Amino acid sequence: MKNLKKQTKKTFAAKVSAAIIIALMLSNLSQAQTVDKSKRPSPPAMAMGKIGEANISIDYSSPSVKGRKIFGGILPYGKLWRAGANEATLFQTDKDITVEGKKLPAGKYSFFATPGEKKWTIFFNSETGQWGDKPGGATNMDSAKTVLTFSVKAKKLKDLNEKLKYSVMSNGFDLRWEYSDIFIKVE
């Protein structure tokens, strides 16, 4: 009887150990799949540059048009957008700057936009690191954490920009995608 109890305890311990090992392996496998963001349909991209003394970076995921109508189509005019794909777009400055005539302190911000046919509303939000959309498709921006809002004119381009692209220039940055170009002045 004593040997049977010992054997049962050993079998139970072996089963628990095996379950733990399998769980750890599955956990590592799932983490390995999420770590390689370059394999996503909208891969990560970064725009970097210097405006005055400030180092600016824009970390975003770059979706493609893929034959779809983007603005006024799958991204309706007047609807808040995460200004990229996947996680919310991250704008970072290491110095205080002036954006479209308004002060923005040094720091990290989520960057959102509400596209319009002729003008866009832009939002810098102090909450960072969130996934860009909530389940159901609503944009994941806490309006109470918005630190800067303004509007800019939308420019129509003749040539198609297949992939969303941000560029940092000496006097600001722009967002180009599909046939839209949005320039934001920074000093």
Cα of first residue to Cα of last residue in the chain, in angstroms, is 83
Weakest-pLDDT range from 28-32, 104-108, 127-131? 28-32
**pLDDT confidence band for 52 (50 / 70 / 90):** very high
At residue 35, what are phi and psi to the nearest 5 degrees?
A: -70, -35
Total number of domains in the chain: 2
**Domain span including residue 137:** 42-185
Q: In this structure, which amino acid lies at residue 171? A: N
**pLDDT confidence band for 30 (50 / 70 / 90):** very low
Within this chain, do residues 14 and 48 fall inside the same structural domain, yes or no? no
Within this chain, do residues 65 and 139 fall inside the same structural domain, yes or no? yes
Strands 89-93 and 97-99: unpaired
